[in-house]
């Protein structure tokens, strides 16, 4: 069946909206950007702090390694489509040096603290607040027919001082078309949904909700990561050891999916572990019954049963966030 929300977001629009292969890239000059220092690197890029010397605006300069034109077209078209959306990183400019042919994307800069440091400082309310902010960003991109497909702590930039959050790295994002089969080699291992691990290629936006569940578990249980597989096959094992075999079997049956030989051999009759068992002295101030209820609704094997952003923001777990926002914006 189709996703409950935004199933036709793309196909209701002209083909040029989602067919990025005909999208023409127009590069500006690189001259007035100055690189300040390296702040990160990914598979596909090196990332620098920088400044636009025309207006002295700080920015982040992502210098792209040689990648397929189509991948570049997809990322840039998506970033332009999402420009200005709630909690979506802004692509300011795209630049190319005509001599070296180096290409770079220029982004708004977030004064981010590494999640390994930041998550340790979080209070219960901070987790509710930031997960809520990610949900707003996800609802926005899903409403435009786009799935992020790489949600994880590294791709959620947080400026805790300003309580500002941005979803970055749209390099694996893709347009959702009903009935289309997608590549399952997306997302980072620990955040991969079961659909990716059992080759269920008809997945949709709800993939992002599994990854968000893993991210939330990471914050709340102070367990980094929640499911730590040594490879993709082992990743499913790590999930089933905690989420149980019954849910997996029901999911496989519903969609007539088969498991590979490795899983036939290594999956055992594990019972679902109750989330309460992950409560420790170190994290008990972060865990509530509403939090566990919400987590459970994200970490459903069956991609159709997962809670979606629009439903999630109504969950009682986020009631204090809505209250807080009313107070600071509500003029009361
Ligand atoms: P990956 O291999 O994870 O897909 P990538 O090559 O697509 O990476 P990004 O994930 O976009 O690159 O960026 C790499 C790193 O640079 C991020 O994890 C982050 O630490 C930093 N970074 C990227 N964009 C920003 C930004 N706008 N503000 C602050 N830091 C950023």
Burial (CB < 10 A; 0-12, 13-18, 19+), residue 246, is middle
- Note the pLDDT of residue 332: 54
**Two tokens, residue 215:** 């991210």
- Note the pLDDT of residue 169: 96
CA dist., res. 175 & res. 184, Å (int):
14
Q: Which residues are catalytic?
A: 150
Find out whether the beta carbon of 75 lies less than 6 Å from any atom of ligand 1.
no
- Note the pLDDT of residue 59: 98
Q: How far is the centre of ligand 1, averaged over its atoms, from the C-alpha of 40 (Å)?
A: 6
3-state secondary structure (DSSP) of residue 51: strand
298: closest CA among 200, 227, 222, 199?
227
Q: Which ligand 1 atom sits nearest the alpha carbon of residue 44?
A: 6
- Note the pLDDT of residue 1: 84
**Which residue spans within the chain are E strands per DSSP?**
33-41, 45-52, 57-64, 91-96, 103-107, 146-147, 156-159, 164-167, 174-175
- Within 10 angstroms of residue 314's Cβ, the number of other Cβ atoms is 11
**Two tokens, residue 141:** 């991109």
Which residues lie below 8 Å from residue 229, measured CB to CB, with a gap of 6+? Answer: 189, 190, 235, 236, 237, 238, 239
Q: How far is the centre of ligand 1, averaged over its atoms, from the C-alpha of 313 (Å)?
A: 27
Whether the Cβ atoms of residue 111 and residue 99 lie closer than 8 Å to each other = no
- Note the pLDDT of residue 331: 63
Whether the Cβ atoms of residue 108 and residue 208 lie closer than 8 Å to each other = no
ipTM summary value: 0.94
DSSP state of 154: G
CA dist., res. 43 & res. 200, Å (int):
25
Mutate-to-test residue for ligand 1 from 44, 47, 63, 91, highest number of ligand atoms within 8 A of CB: 47
Q: Which ligand 1 atom sits nearest the alpha carbon of residue 114?
A: 20
- Within 10 angstroms of residue 190's Cβ, the number of other Cβ atoms is 20
Find out whether the beta carbon of 6 lies less than 6 Å from any atom of ligand 1.
no
Q: Which ligand 1 atom sits nearest the alpha carbon of residue 171?
A: 7
CA dist., res. 302 & res. 299, Å (int):
9
Q: How far is the centre of ligand 1, averaged over its atoms, from the C-alpha of 75 (Å)?
A: 13
Which residues lie below 8 Å from residue 239, measured CB to CB, with a gap of 6+? Answer: 194, 197, 227, 229, 248
pLDDT in single tens digits along all 332 residues of the chain:
899 999 999 999 999 999 999 999 999 999 999 999 999 998 889 999 999 999 999 999 999 999 999 999 999 999 999 999 999 999 999 999 988 889 999 999 999 999 999 999 999 999 999 999 999 999 999 999 999 999 999 999 999 999 999 999 999 999 999 999 999 999 999 999 999 999 999 999 999 999 999 999 999 999 999 999 999 999 999 999 999 999 999 999 999 999 999 999 999 999 999 999 999 999 999 999 999 999 999 999 999 999 999 999 999 999 999 999 999 987 65
- Note the pLDDT of residue 101: 86
104: closest CA among 52, 56, 153, 165?
52
pLDDT tens-place string over residues 61-87: 999 999 999 999 999 999 999 999 999
């Amino acid at each position: 069946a189709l996703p409950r929300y935004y199933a036709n977001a793309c196909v209701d629009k002209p083909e040029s909206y989602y067919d990025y292969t005909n999208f023409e890239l127009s590069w500006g000059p690189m001259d007035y950007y100055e690189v300040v220092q390296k702040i990160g690197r990914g598979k596909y890029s090196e990332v620098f702090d920088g400044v636009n010397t025309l207006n002295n605006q700080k920015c982040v300069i992502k210098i792209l390694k040689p990648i397929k034109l189509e991948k570049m077209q997809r990322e840039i078209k998506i970033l332009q489509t999402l420009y200005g959306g709630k909690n979506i990183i802004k692509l300011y400019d795209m630049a190319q040096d005509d001599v070296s042919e180096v290409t770079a994307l220029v982004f708004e800069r977030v004064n981010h603290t590494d999640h390994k440091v930041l998550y340790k400082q979080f209070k219960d309310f901070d987790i509710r607040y930031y997960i809520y902010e990610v949900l707003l960003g996800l609802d926005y991109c899903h409403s435009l027919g786009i799935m992020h497909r790489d949600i994880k702590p590294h791709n959620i930039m947080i400026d805790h001082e300003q309580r500002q959050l941005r979803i970055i790295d749209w390099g694996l994002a893709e347009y959702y078309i009903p009935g289309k089969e997608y590549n399952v080699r997306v997302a980072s291992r620990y955040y991969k949904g079961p659909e990716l691990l059992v080759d269920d290629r008809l997945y949709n936006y709800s993939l992002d909700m599994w990854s968000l569940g893993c991210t939330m578990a990471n914050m709340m249980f102070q367990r980094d990561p929640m499911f730590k597989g040594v490879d993709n096959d082992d990743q499913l094992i790590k999930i089933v050891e905690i989420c149980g075999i019954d849910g997996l079997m029901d999911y496989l049956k519903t969609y007539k999916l088969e498991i590979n030989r490795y899983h036939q051999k290594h999956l055992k009759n594990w019972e679902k572990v109750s989330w309460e068992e992950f409560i420790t002295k170190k994290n008990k101030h972060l865990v509530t019954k509403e939090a566990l209820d919400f987590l459970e609704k994200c970490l459903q094997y069956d991609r159709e049963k997962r809670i979606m952003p629009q439903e999630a923001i109504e969950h009682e777990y986020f009631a204090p966030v809505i209250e807080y926002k009313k107070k600071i914006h509500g003029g009361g």
